[in-house]
Chains A and B, each alone.
Chain A
Amino acid sequence: MAEKILMKGNEAIGEAAIVAGCRHYFGYPITPQTELTEYMARRMPQVNGVFLQAESEIAAINMVYGAAGAGARAMTSSSSPGISLKQEGISYIAGAELPCVIVNIQRGGPGLGSIQPAQSDYFQATKGGGHGDYHCIVLAPNSVQELVDVTVESFDLADRYRNPVLILGDGALGQMMEPVEFRASVATVVEKPWAAVGMKNRNQPNIINSLHLKADEQEQHNHKLQARYAAITASETRCEELYTDDAELTLVAYGITSRIARTAVEKARGEGMKVGLFRPISLWPFPSDQLFSTASRTKAFLTIEMSAGQMIEDVKLAIRCSKPVYFYGRYGGMIPSPREIYHEIVKIFDGKGGR
Chain B
Amino acid sequence: MAEVLFSRPKSLLDIPMHYCPGCHHGIIHRLVAEVLDELNVRERTIGIAPVGCSVLAYEYFNCDMMEAAHGRAPAVATGVKRVLPESVVFTYQGDGDLAAIGCAEIIHAAVRGEKITTIFVNNAIYGMTGGQMAPTSLESQVTTTSPYGRKLSESGMPIRMSEMISTIDGAAYITRVAVNNPANMAKAKSSIKTAFQLQMSGAGFSMVEVLSTCPTNWGMTPLEAVKWLEQNMIPYYPLGVFKTPEGVAKV
Contacts and interface: CB of A to CB of B under 8 A. Distances in A.
B212 interface: no
Interface in B45-90: 45-46, 48, 55-56, 58, 61-69, 72, 75-84, 87-88
Interface stretch (A67-75, A264-272, A315-323): A67-75
Contact of B68 (A65, A70, A200, A201): A65
A69 B75 contact: no
B72 A59 contact: yes
B44 interface: yes
A196 B66 CA distance: 7
A62 B63 contact: no
A71 B69 contact: no
A206 B61 CA distance: 11
A67 B104 contact: no
Nearest to B75: A62
A101 to B, nearest CB: 14
Contacts of A166: none
Which range holds the interface residue count of chain A?
A: 35 or more
Contacts of B42: 199
Contact of B67 (A55, A64, A67, A210): A210
What's the dominant secondary structure at chain B's contact region? Answer: helix
Contact of A205 (B64, B75, B84, B108): B64
A208 interface: yes
Nearest to B108: A55
Interface string B187-226: 0000000000000000000000000000000000000000
A197 interface: yes
B64 A199 contact: yes
B43 interface: yes
A62 B83 contact: no
B139 interface: no
A208 B69 contact: no
Interface stretch (A88-96, A120-128, A287-295, A337-345): A88-96
A72 B66 CA distance: 15
Contacts of B80: 66-67, 69-70, 196
A67 B82 contact: yes
A158 to B, nearest CB: 15
A199 B64 CA distance: 6
Contacts of A96: 66-67
A62 B44 CA distance: 21
Given A63-B76, A66-B75, A88 B69 contact: yes
B69 A197 contact: no
A24 B81 CA distance: 11
B231 to A, nearest CB: 35
A58 B72 contact: yes
Nearest to A72: B83
A26 interface: yes
B105 A59 contact: yes
Nearest to B55: A211
Interface in A180-221: 196-201, 205-211
Given A24-B79, A208-B67, A198 B44 contact: yes
A26 B58 CA distance: 25
A56 B46 CA distance: 24
A134 B155 CA distance: 37
A205 B63 contact: yes
Given A50-B82, A59-B105, A205-B61, A66 B76 contact: yes
B79 A198 contact: no
B43 A59 contact: no
A232 interface: no
Contacts of A52: 78, 82
A77 to B, nearest CB: 15
A50 B80 CA distance: 12
Of B44, B46, B66, B83, most buried by chain A (CB within 10 Å of CB) is: B83
Interface string A100-120: 000000000000000000000
A209 B157 CA distance: 35
A62 B45 contact: no
Given A55-B108, A198-B43, A198-B44, A66 B67 contact: no
A334 interface: no
Contacts of A198: 43-46, 63-64, 84, 87-88
Closest 8 CB pairs of A and B: A66-B79, A62-B75, A67-B79, A198-B44, A63-B79, A196-B64, A66-B76, A55-B108
7 contacts: A58-B105, A63-B76, A66-B66, A66-B76, A198-B63, A207-B66, A209-B65
